Amino acid sequence: MSYDPNAGEPAQPQQPPVPPQYQPPGAVPPVNQPPAPQQPTYQPQPGQPQPGYAQPGYGAPQPGQPQAPQQPPYVGYAQQPAYSPQGYPVTSYPGYGAAPGQLPNPGVGGLAIAAIIVSGVAFLSGWIPIVGVVLALVGLVLSILAIRSGRGKVLGIIGTILAGIALLFGAFMTTMIFVVAPWNDTSSSSSDPWSVETPSAAPDDGAFDEAEAAAVSGQLIETPCWSYDGPKHFTDNISAEEAGNCYGQLELWGEYDESGNFVPTGYGETAGQITVEPVSSATAAQYSDGADLSATVDALEKPYLSTVGGTISSLHEETTLGGVPANITRIDSDVAETQMKVVLTTFSPQPYDIGGDQRKLFLISITTPYSNGEEQLQQLLDSWEWR
């Protein structure tokens, strides 16, 4: 019989298996680590809990008890969740900040601030010509760039509205001043050769000499179609191109003195004119057959002769101009200071090629504020020559 050293001693209770140590998700088991040293066998004392048994409520769940649900780790954080000594994960919440997946607010950029400032200044100064337009354009460009950059979009939209209004108003003011507003020089020629400006008060000139001021000759006026000796103090106010097309226009510029005498100065108001106009063949064909002068004058009475600024006092008065028949129509001017106004109607000896148009009908007018108007008319009739 063999000897059993444990014979007669109470049997030791079987030790329950030790649960494996909890590994957190994603943890990698150690590689080539030496085995952990063997723990000495623990001899429990009577009445003490056996090692390996979990405390109630802290260790492994008791049979029949519901298991606590595992909380998934919070998505969007790089750090791993911490674990309690009992093995349950503890969720760690960071401080307040942007929500997961949301970019931080970039704020308002300097471009948007500059856009709203420039647009506001343009809106307030839009009534200033040119300056308002320039500021509005700069503000509009800055506002568009601010909107496209994404920083300060609201300010960019407001700046665009202000700059747009300023641009429209500035353009309107610029147009009114530089295009629509009358910048007429009183010495410029009138579109209506028969219109004479109403005289206004002028400086007193006690040494006025009407004979000198009303000199009927003194300058040669000539074109490819005709020529004559014009009054001394009248100004030749026509371009070289128009003169090349056989048009003519002399104007008497000056001012009225306290006695109502017109003093020729070469500037100021227009009180006298001598105009020569070759009528286009298409227009002349509506009123004339090119041969009957008297019938032509009758046809021109209502559409032309009665609309030149006065009342016709004599429609037909025969004369000659450069050796060809002509007609004088006298008109009582609606300007009190005008002493004489007449219109000469005549056919040239031969048609003239003017811009590819064969013209033969000529209308010549004379207006003067001086009392020697008849002398001036006769001077033109005597000195006129057809080319």
Give percent of the chain with pLDDT exceeding 90: 37
pLDDT digit string (tens) for 202-221? 444 457 888 889 999 989 99
Higher-pLDDT residue of 178 and 131 is: 131
| pLDDT number for residue 361 | 95
Lowest mean pLDDT among 107-116, 160-169, 172-181, 263-272: 172-181
Residue 74: pLDDT over 50:
no
Q: Give me the pLDDT at residue 122, please.
A: 80
pLDDT of residue 155: 83
Please compute the mean of the pLDDT values over residues 130-144 and round it to a whole number: 84
User: Whole-prediction pTM value?
Assistant: 0.49
pLDDT digits (tens, 9 = 90+) for 18-30: 555 555 555 445 5
| pLDDT (0 to 100) of residue 332 | 94
Domain boundaries, the chain: 110-180, 210-386
Q: Residue 298, Cα to own-chain centre: how many angstroms?
A: 52
Helix %, strand %, coil % for the chain, to 5?
Answer: 25, 20, 50
Scan for tokens 């108003």, then name that residue. Answer: 169
pLDDT value at residue 18: 53
Q: Which of 203, 228, 226, 205 is nearest to 218 (CA)?
A: 228
Spell out the long-range contacts of 356-359 with Cβ–Cβ below 8 A and sequence spacing 24 or more.
Answer: 357/280, 357/281, 357/282, 358/281, 359/246, 359/278, 359/279, 359/280, 359/281, 359/284
Mean pLDDT along residues 241-250: 94
Domain 210-386 in CATH 3.40.50.620: no
pLDDT, tens digit, 9 for 90 and up, residues 337-349: 899 999 999 999 9
Question: Is 165:181 a contact under the CB 8 Å cutoff?
Answer: no
Q: Mapping DSSP to helix (H, G, I), strand (E, B) and coil, where does residue 22 land?
A: coil
Closest CA to 231 of 324, 369, 326: 369
CA distance 266 to 258: 19
DSSP assignment string, 302-371:
TTTGGGSSEEEEES--EEEETTEEEEEEEEEESSTT--EEEEEEEEEEEEEEETTEEEEEEEEEEEESST
Per-residue model confidence (pLDDT) at position 62: 52
